[in-house]
Amino acid sequence: MSATGIGAAVRRKEDQRFITGTGNYTSDITRPGEVRAYFVRSPHAHATIDKIDVSAAKRMPGVVDILTGADLAGDKIGGLICGWAITSKDGTPMKMGAHPAIAADKVRCVGDAVAVVLAETLLQARDAAEAVQVDYGVLPAVVDPAKATAKGAPQLHDVAPNNLIYDWHLGDKAATEAAFAAAKHVTKLDIINNRLVPNAMEPRAAIAEYDQGNDALTLWNTSQNPHVARLVISAFVGMAPEHKLRVIAPDVGGGFGSKIFIYPEEVVALWAARRVKRPVKWVSDRSEAFLTDAHGRDHVTHAELATDANHKITGLRVHTIANIGSYMSTFSSSVPTYLYATLLSGQYAIPAIYAEVDAVYTNTAPVDAYRGAGRPEATFVVERLVEVAARELGLDPAEFRRKNFVTSFPHQTPVIMTYDAGDYDASMTKAMEMIDYKNFGKRKAESEKNGKLRGIGFSTYIEACGIAPSQAVGSLGAGVGLWESAEVRVNPTGSVEILTGSHSHGQGHETTFAQLVSDRLGVPIDTVSIVHGDTDKVQFGMGTYGSRSGAVGMSAISKALDKIEDKAKKVAGYMMEAAADDIEFKDGKFTVKGTDKSVGWGDVTLNAYIAHKFTGGQLEPGLKEGAFYDPTNFTFPAGCHLAEVEIDPETGKITIANWVAVDDFGNIINPMIVEGQVHGGIAQGVGQAMLEGAHYNADGQLVTGSFMDYAMPRAADLPSFKVDTTVTPCPSNPLGIKGCGEAGAIASPAALINAITNAVGHENVPMPATPSVVWKAAQGGMKKAAE
């Protein structure tokens, strides 16, 4: 292993600019003559728009124009769409309501845009926005997904009676019912997977510019996938043809899924820029972000697990109501279906599984993918069921898991997935050693002496990443393929530019991708630059989400590097008058096999371009290759998280005493970056389990609309994590990578709630387990113990 190659903990190249304030984020960009956009947003969760009067506002200082939903419709700008078609049990397609970028007739959540003010300054735009007069006819609202389909509930979209978008199912119902009928024991749980607000450090932003001479538009935005944004805005919104629309996602300060989607504001910015013929800039403030970024999770689930007399799991069934919010966001339909129910087998050999999912509209912000996207919800269901079942059966939770782990591969689950490789016992055993599981009892006794409760909880999770084989996802309803592209451009002097569709917004691609190139070509890492995020530079790409950049994006780079190597060998062959097949390439040196004749990387790259050693008939000059890589399977990262907590029963305060994570991510390019991903993921999962929760009141007002009420995890809430890995290389991609970006967020909520419930002695602890909740639970638990 070289100091900068695969497996080296190279410090992140991009951090120099990020930590010295020299990054280039969308809001850092200023275009000449730009106007600022400020949206007039609905204060009501559900209302008809009876009248909008912009006349007074238009006369205010600095106002350039004020546009409404009627103007948008007049210009025939299309609405936003959800790009994954889900079919209900009865074969009918999902019922997608229209989603205009500015509401025209009706608002469906607080924060729904009803007009946009364009002014010389942001302050002027804000002042004028307050002067826009909107007459609303306020309607009753529904925010609770469990109540959305009830008789008499307020109706959001005419196309979706009873607010039901789809009722979908997966698995074998009859086989599962039979398994439950024959079960020796059934464990039942009611679970609410709490709604989360993503809260990336950088709020969303967009700048749109219209080039009148070329009738072309450019959009700078905070996107995880600029090409997909261009495709949707072009093909579905109908803004401009793809070749007349350039989308640039420069430095992006975190996304966690929330910046995958195509949002109303960027559509409006483009449309408005063309109308007023000036660049239009919009930057979300944090309050807007709380209201308008797509939220995550929000499931209401009943789940059951069947076991036989030998403590083998024989069946699992769930019924989930998934809150989609007021409109279907870009990939919202796929999250509670194919990203959720397909993972309900967990790490276990379960013969029969049946899942039913009802997706419903409510008067809340749209819900879509958020770090883990469906897989945290599945893991929470499975890992809570398994832990509770073990407790009910009087078994050690590790033993119960061991008895039911999948141990031979490939393993076909009853819910689509074929697990390719893994060693679940290895990661759990290692985690148990690291946390000193066998002495937990002693630590618990010590805590009890001090009047504290102590608990330990497992989460042996699995996820499907490396998203995804295009043909497979196409057959499941995806509107796009999920391959990735790469182009390798070698310059005459030997430096290398990698163009990739994998956008980096915190993941460290500029370092890890360069490590791959350094490793393969034997060039210094500083001579490799990673180019991404601009549709004019990178031909096409599918973007970064679903822990896919390593497994899919780097595999595409690897494929292109194969081609570079082949071509370079040919050039070296002409230079040394040898056949290309006789050339060996190692550590940046081309050698004629069995001789001491060799040429270096720089000589070969220069010769590829000066083309003096070969004729045009023999070889094309230049050194540039591209590749598209389409995975043949999902990847299956898996592992074990163990959480140990100490609870003060008097106050309900939780102290996380120990946290161990042993993950199998397959081969690892940069262990330091992987560890960072695990840390961040755990922080988000701990946030979900004990701090974060988006709460709407019955009127549809977001009560947790700022950090005063929405508790983000802080360093002081977290322990020092003990993190390690086990490795079973992924067999389906050339680098053996499984992906690591979401594991922490997927695994950790179940581990923490399992630990808390273990400490308080009963299972009724909802998320977020705030001190108030835990105190109440501890009272109940202590009462139970006293009885």
Partner 1 sequence: MYAFKYEKPWSLAAAAALLSESGDAKLLAGGQTLLPAMKLRLAGPSTIIDLSKVPGLSGVTREGDNLVIGALTKHVEVMNSAEVQKSIPALAHLVSVLGDPAVRNRGTIGGSLANNDPSADYPAAVLALNGTVHTNKRKIAADDFFKGLFETALAADEIIERVSFPVPEKAGYEKFRNPASRFALVGVFVAKTKDGVRVAVTGAGESGVFRVKEMEAALAKDWSPKAIEGVKVSASGIIADLHGTADYRAHLAGVIARRAVAKAG
Contact pattern from residue 579 through residue 618 relative to partner 1, giving x for each residue in contact according to CB under 8 A and a dash for the rest: ----------------------------------------
Q: Please select the residue that binds partner 1; options are 709, 764, 784, 785, rule is CB under 8 A.
A: 709
- 508 forms part of the interface with partner 1 (CB under 8 A): no
- Of the pair 7, 43, the CB lying nearest partner 1 is at 43
Contact pattern from residue 677 through residue 696 relative to partner 1, giving x for each residue in contact according to CB under 8 A and a dash for the rest: -------------xx-x-x-
- 703 forms part of the interface with partner 1 (CB under 8 A): yes
- 718 forms part of the interface with partner 1 (CB under 8 A): no
Q: 500 and 530 in contact (C-beta within 8 Å)?
A: yes
Residue 59 in tokens: 């006369």
**Shortest separation between residue 711's beta carbon and partner 1, angstroms:** 4
- 704 forms part of the interface with partner 1 (CB under 8 A): yes
C-alpha span between 430 and 563 (Å, rounded): 40
Pairing relation of β-strands 352-361 and 313-325?
A: parallel
C-alpha 231 chain-centroid distance: 20
385-444 residues near partner 1, rule: CB under 8 A: none
The region of 176-184, 405-413, 458-466, 700-708 touching partner 1 under the rule CB under 8 A is 700-708
- 545 forms part of the interface with partner 1 (CB under 8 A): no
Q: 629 and 486 in contact (C-beta within 8 Å)?
A: yes
- 653 forms part of the interface with partner 1 (CB under 8 A): yes
How many chain residues are in contact with partner 1, going by CB under 8 A?
26
**Angle 168-169-171 from CA coordinates, rounded to 5°:** 165
- Of the pair 145, 652, the CB lying nearest partner 1 is at 652
The region of 81-89, 147-155, 534-542, 710-718 touching partner 1 under the rule CB under 8 A is 710-718
Tokens 């896919």 correspond to what residue? 548
Question: What phi, psi does 384 have (nearest 5°)?
Answer: -70, -45
Q: SS3 for 273?
A: helix
- Of the pair 703, 785, the CB lying nearest partner 1 is at 703
- 776 forms part of the interface with partner 1 (CB under 8 A): yes
Residue 766 in tokens: 């909802």
Q: Please select the residue that binds partner 1; options are 187, 314, 404, 770, rule is CB under 8 A.
A: 770
Q: Please select the residue that binds partner 1; options are 652, 680, 739, 781, rule is CB under 8 A.
A: 652
DSSP state of 43: S
- 780 forms part of the interface with partner 1 (CB under 8 A): no
15-20: long-range contacts at Cβ-Cβ below 8 A with a sequence spacing of 24 or more? Answer: 17/251, 18/251
Q: 674 and 12 in contact (C-beta within 8 Å)?
A: no
- 698 forms part of the interface with partner 1 (CB under 8 A): no
Q: 373 and 322 in contact (C-beta within 8 Å)?
A: no
Nearest to 104 by CA among 69, 75, 72: 69
- Of the pair 2, 704, the CB lying nearest partner 1 is at 704
Alpha helical stretches, state H, 90-172: 122-131, 145-148
The set of residues, in sequence order, having a beta carbon less than 8 Å from that of 712 and lying 6+ positions away, is 199, 687, 691, 692
- 707 forms part of the interface with partner 1 (CB under 8 A): yes
- Of the pair 100, 649, the CB lying nearest partner 1 is at 649
The set of residues, in sequence order, having a beta carbon less than 8 Å from that of 611 and lying 6+ positions away, is 619, 621
**Shortest separation between residue 658's beta carbon and partner 1, angstroms:** 21
Q: 344 and 318 in contact (C-beta within 8 Å)?
A: yes
Q: Please select the residue that binds partner 1; options are 772, 783, 784, 785, rule is CB under 8 A.
A: 772
- Of the pair 155, 287, the CB lying nearest partner 1 is at 287
Q: Which residues pair with 315 in a beta bridge?
A: 306, 352
The region of 325-333, 612-620, 632-640, 650-658 touching partner 1 under the rule CB under 8 A is 650-658
- Of the pair 477, 693, the CB lying nearest partner 1 is at 693
Tokens 């399977």 correspond to what residue? 633
**Shortest separation between residue 708's beta carbon and partner 1, angstroms:** 5
Q: Please select the residue that binds partner 1; options are 256, 271, 636, 710, rule is CB under 8 A.
A: 710
C-alpha span between 773 and 775 (Å, rounded): 6
- Of the pair 65, 127, the CB lying nearest partner 1 is at 127
Q: SS3 for 511?
A: helix
Q: Please select the residue that binds partner 1; options are 188, 396, 650, 783, rule is CB under 8 A.
A: 650
- 785 forms part of the interface with partner 1 (CB under 8 A): no
Pairing relation of β-strands 653-664 and 722-725?
A: parallel
The region of 163-171, 238-246, 758-766, 771-779 touching partner 1 under the rule CB under 8 A is 771-779
- 771 forms part of the interface with partner 1 (CB under 8 A): yes
- Of the pair 80, 129, the CB lying nearest partner 1 is at 129
- Of the pair 182, 703, the CB lying nearest partner 1 is at 703
Nearest to 721 by CA among 764, 682, 689: 682
Q: Which residues pair with 382 in a beta bridge?
A: none
Q: Which residues pair with 659 in a beta bridge?
A: 643
Residue 410 in tokens: 């490939």
Q: Please select the residue that binds partner 1; options are 24, 407, 632, 651, rule is CB under 8 A.
A: 651
C-alpha span between 738 and 758 (Å, rounded): 32
**Shortest separation between residue 677's beta carbon and partner 1, angstroms:** 25
82-141 residues near partner 1, rule: CB under 8 A: 123, 126-127
**Start-to-end CA span in the chain (Å):** 61
- 144 forms part of the interface with partner 1 (CB under 8 A): no
Q: 230 and 224 in contact (C-beta within 8 Å)?
A: no
Alpha helical stretches, state H, 661-742: 671-690
Helices 771-786, 743-760: inter-axial angle, 10-degree rounding: 40
- 764 forms part of the interface with partner 1 (CB under 8 A): no
- 290 forms part of the interface with partner 1 (CB under 8 A): no
Q: Please select the residue that binds partner 1; options are 216, 711, 727, 782, rule is CB under 8 A.
A: 711
Nearest to 42 by CA among 97, 105, 119: 105
- Of the pair 645, 674, the CB lying nearest partner 1 is at 645
Which positions lie near partner 1, rule CB under 8 A?
123, 126-127, 287, 650-653, 690-691, 693, 695, 703-704, 707-712, 717, 770-772, 775-776
